[in-house]
Amino acid sequence: MSSTDVRDSAPGADPRPADRPGALAAAVDAAVATVRRNAAAFGALYPDSTTRDDRYPLRPATDRFAEGANRDWTTSFWPGMQWRAVELTGDADLRAAALAHAADFARRVHAGEDLDTHDLGFLYTLSCVDAWRLAGDEAARDAALAAADHLMTRFLPSAGIIQAWGDLSDPAQRGRTIVDSLMNMPLLTWATQVTGDPRYADVVARHVVQVRTHLLRDDDSTFHTFYWDPETGEPLRGGTEQGAGDDSCWARGQAWGIFGFALHHRTSGDPESLRASERCAEYFLAHLPADGVPFWDLVYSDGADAPRDSSSGAIAACGLLELASVSTDADRAARYAAAARRMVADLIAGYTPAAPEDADALLLHSVYDAPKNKGVDEGCLWGDYYYLEALTRLTLPGWVSPWWPAAAAVPTRLTLTAGTTATDTDGGTA
């Protein structure tokens, strides 16, 4: 149990009611306060992917990178939090901080630093596409397009997939993708809409079909990983890197499925992706414990001695709100939106610090990689980001998502008046 936790029992047993009047506004205030404090503490540097005892250390140095350097797949969640806080408050200091990070991401892509990953969509949507659409930063736009071009080099025509992480000159790294990849596709869809070049969207369409066909199982659960023969494109087998087993259902992967398939339906109109998102959602909701926040793998249920993963709950809440906003069935849309609101309320009540200063993380009790005992029962950058995105979706009517390429293709300007809602965008939200 984390040192700042006010509970003496299991996660979810917090006595603070989440549905009290003003709970959502109070949660936003607490989250923004933490983002501001962390921004002042880290400056131009980057926190590590997960906390240690509820505090974010600097990203560790390696033989190639200094301490706090912009490397690995999670650094963009940090400026992403800053952009969401700017939209919520109009904070000019956080806008300046996020723009400085966008410049560093531009440097990273043009220098070719640590780009051997499909997670360029995460990295450049939340750093540079956001800087372009919210501040009109042309250099950030160019950097995001450069990242999209680099992501295209990971496309394997024989299998019709964007390959996951690793140096593709190494045969062992070729021929695989993971369910997380769905959340990296909006960068390529955005690139088609910005440039008019259909190549990017064509690759997205092929990739999503393969993920839908091979990673979504008949029982509506998902594989984390799937492998193809890189020469022939023959589908080989499903497996896992971070789940409890090859045939279990890793909670974060299932949450990515809800969100990623819904986003693809929004931009493509593909009814099969809508159905895939619904299938992922139904399985996820049916395998939640009583307090509404998942264990790290959905093979576990109430009474299990296994860690929770609040980050999966935050991702799923965003995905359910996205799914609700594109659903063609009013009753289903209402049910998904209500489930997302309950999940956010459960996160607020049982998985946040008692006071913002008690932790650097917005959200406690996440899991990075349980099989490797990495980041277990800690905060994490993506959990914090998606929790704040969920709060933003529920707080700002008409909020426009960075994952919607059509909305992000043309920049919109924020009104920066500290302490007020800072958005003059049009659009819908659940």
Nearest to 422 by CA among 412, 407, 430, 409: 412
Measured CA to CA, the distance from residue 83 to residue 81 in angstroms comes to: 5
- Where does the pLDDT of residue 146 fall: very low under 50, low under 70, confident under 90, or very high at 90 and above? very high
- DSSP class of residue 50 equals B
Best mean pLDDT range from 4-13, 201-210, 421-430 = 201-210
Measured CA to CA, the distance from residue 57 to residue 38 in angstroms comes to: 11
* pLDDT digit string, tens, across residues 178-191: 999 999 999 999 99
Tokens of 278: 């619904």
* pLDDT digit string, tens, across residues 255-288: 999 999 999 999 999 999 999 999 999 999 999 9
Q: What's the pLDDT score for residue 418? A: 46
Region 186-212: what's the mean pLDDT?
A: 97
> Is 0.85 topped by the overall pTM?
yes
- Where does the pLDDT of residue 117 fall: very low under 50, low under 70, confident under 90, or very high at 90 and above? very high
- DSSP class of residue 129 equals I
Measured CA to CA, the distance from residue 65 to residue 139 in angstroms comes to: 24
Mean of the per-residue pLDDT values of the chain: 92
Q: Is the pLDDT of residue 9 over 60?
A: no
Q: What's the pLDDT score for residue 20? A: 57
Region 354-378: what's the mean pLDDT?
A: 98
Residue percentage of the chain with pLDDT more than 70 = 90
Region 349-372: what's the mean pLDDT?
A: 97
Q: Is the pLDDT of residue 426 over 50?
A: no
Region 123-134: what's the mean pLDDT?
A: 97
Region 303-313: what's the mean pLDDT?
A: 97
- With a CB cutoff of 8 Å and minimum separation 6, the contacts of 346 are 12, 18, 291, 292, 293, 313
How far is Cα of residue 138 from the mean position of the Cα atoms in its chain?
Answer: 24
How many CB atoms are closer than 10 A to CB 417?
12
How many CB atoms are closer than 10 A to CB 395?
17
Region 418-428: what's the mean pLDDT?
A: 36
- Where does the pLDDT of residue 3 fall: very low under 50, low under 70, confident under 90, or very high at 90 and above? very low
- Where does the pLDDT of residue 410 fall: very low under 50, low under 70, confident under 90, or very high at 90 and above? low
Region 214-235: what's the mean pLDDT?
A: 98
* pLDDT digit string, tens, across residues 22-58: 999 999 999 999 999 999 999 999 999 999 999 999 9
Q: What's the pLDDT score for residue 405? A: 77
Q: Is the pLDDT of residue 14 over 90?
A: no
Q: Is the pLDDT of residue 423 over 70?
A: no
Q: What's the pLDDT score for residue 16? A: 41
Region 121-148: what's the mean pLDDT?
A: 97
The residues assigned a catalytic role are: 119, 180
For the four alpha carbons of 342, 347, 349 and 350, in that order, the dihedral sign comes to positive
Q: Is the pLDDT of residue 12 over 90?
A: no
Q: Is the CB of residue 427 less than 8 Å from the CB of residue 399?
A: yes
Q: What's the pLDDT score for residue 415? A: 67
Q: Is the pLDDT of residue 427 over 70?
A: no
Q: Is the CB of residue 154 less than 8 Å from the CB of residue 429?
A: no
Region 93-121: what's the mean pLDDT?
A: 98
Region 86-108: what's the mean pLDDT?
A: 98
Q: Is the pLDDT of residue 293 over 60?
A: yes
Per the listing, tokens 């723009």 go with 99
- Where does the pLDDT of residue 411 fall: very low under 50, low under 70, confident under 90, or very high at 90 and above? confident
Region 401-421: what's the mean pLDDT?
A: 68
Measured CA to CA, the distance from residue 125 to residue 46 in angstroms comes to: 17
Radius of gyration of the chain (CA): 20
Q: What's the pLDDT score for residue 417? A: 55
